[in-house]
Amino acid sequence: MQQIARPDRSRSLAWNTEDVRPAEQFAYYREAICQVFMKLTPEPTDKSSFPARVERIGLGTGAINRVAFPGHLVLRSASDIAASSSSCFYLNLKLAGRCRIEQDGRSVDLSPGQVGIFDSERLFALRHSQGPSLQVASFWVPAQLLRDRLPPSFEFRAARVSDDPLVGHLIVETAHALNSAAPHTSDEENARLFGVLLDLVALSLSRDGRRGAEPMSLVEATWIALRRAVHRRLREPGLTAAAAAMSVSISERYVHKLFERAGTTFACYVMDHRLEGVARELRDPGMMGRAIGEIAFDWGFADLSHFARRFKQRFGCTPRDWRRG
């Protein structure tokens, strides 16, 4: 398995089985996940090739492990636990395929878009299935980092935290945001967003968690979810604050309050990011064959005169001059 250490992020590593002989691919995969997840015992469903990729990105004292693989079984045995010098929780965001987590006689099924958590200090089985290529973003959470957010007497059980009616959608949005941003964001920002995610998970696991963390975590996670909802629909000409509010299950009034808290307005935020999108594409050599108006329409502008005025206000020149520049 080829291992690549990235010079610009000391805590980022990647493994890929594509350059390894098929008969040896699973053994190299096993070695990789034992390095990033601690001691585990994976078992293949057959003896054929095993195309897989494992990427680890540091998140402060934790990490995110982004893994793509065929269906197989992963066990955490008593000998695996005994051989590990530290403990953690695994917080899994399922991206493709299905998985069943079995721990303490309890089964937790994950489908794409769902998030589950389980404990490395107890026996478990992960049954990855459904589809030739499965993907998961697995957050490696140092045990004490989560327990510090929970009541001292809290008894942990494996759970699907994305089902929580209060913060489940915020957990999913924050996990997606961190998975997408982690490779390109500073260590400090990654660690901060990871802390927000853990605050939300602790709230889901126990309503009696650390109260001081609750208000800020909910506000920050809602803000993250709202911005993601806006960016997903940024190219829609009729995007409104009401539509964005509905996407994250909050009121339109709260949408305006969150943008005000960030020092802007919904309309200004949408306008700025649409203009930045057009500006990027005007400088993109691959877009040189497209008309400026066509690009503007694609970014949600319905009035080209209004677009041209706002573009010049934002960048100090006309769209045509910007493209030439």
Q: What is the pLDDT along the chain (325 residues), one digit of tens a residue?
A: 333 333 333 456 788 888 788 888 888 887 877 777 778 888 877 667 888 888 899 888 899 999 888 888 888 989 888 888 888 999 999 999 899 999 999 999 999 999 999 999 999 999 988 666 789 999 999 999 999 888 877 889 999 999 998 889 899 999 999 999 888 888 888 888 899 999 999 989 985 444 444 445 678 788 888 888 898 899 999 899 999 999 888 899 999 999 998 899 999 999 999 999 999 999 988 889 999 999 999 999 999 999 999 999 999 999 999 998 7
**Is 196:217 a contact under the CB 8 Å cutoff?**
yes
Whether 187 and 253 map to the same domain: the answer is no
Whether 110 and 247 map to the same domain: the answer is no
User: For the packed helices 252-261 and 214-232, what is the interaxial angle rounded to 10 degrees?
Assistant: 100
pLDDT value for 5: 35
Whether 126 and 255 map to the same domain: the answer is no
d(CA 247, CA 190): 25
Residue 268: which domain range?
Answer: 243-325
Which residue is listed with tokens 């469903």? 45
pLDDT value for 131: 63
Which residues, 6 or more positions from 207, have their beta carbon under 8 angstroms from its beta carbon? none
Q: Output the domain CATH number for residue 58.
A: 2.60.120.10
d(CA 56, CA 65): 5
Instruction: For residue 238, tell me if it sits in a domain.
Output: no
Whether 228 and 247 map to the same domain: the answer is no
For the full predicted model, state whether its pTM sits above 0.85: no
Instruction: For residue 213, tell me if it sits in a domain.
Output: yes
Instruction: For residue 237, tell me if it sits in a domain.
Output: no
Whether 212 and 287 map to the same domain: the answer is no
pLDDT value for 130: 63
pLDDT value for 30: 79
Domains in the chain: how many in total? 2
Domain final residue pick, 173, 206, 232: 232
Q: Give φ, ψ of 268 to 5 degrees.
A: -65, -40
Whether 249 and 122 map to the same domain: the answer is no
**Is 72:44 a contact under the CB 8 Å cutoff?**
yes
**Is 97:133 a contact under the CB 8 Å cutoff?**
yes
Paired strand residues for 230: none
Whether 225 and 300 map to the same domain: the answer is no
Instruction: For residue 52, tell me if it sits in a domain.
Output: yes
Instruction: For residue 214, tell me if it sits in a domain.
Output: yes
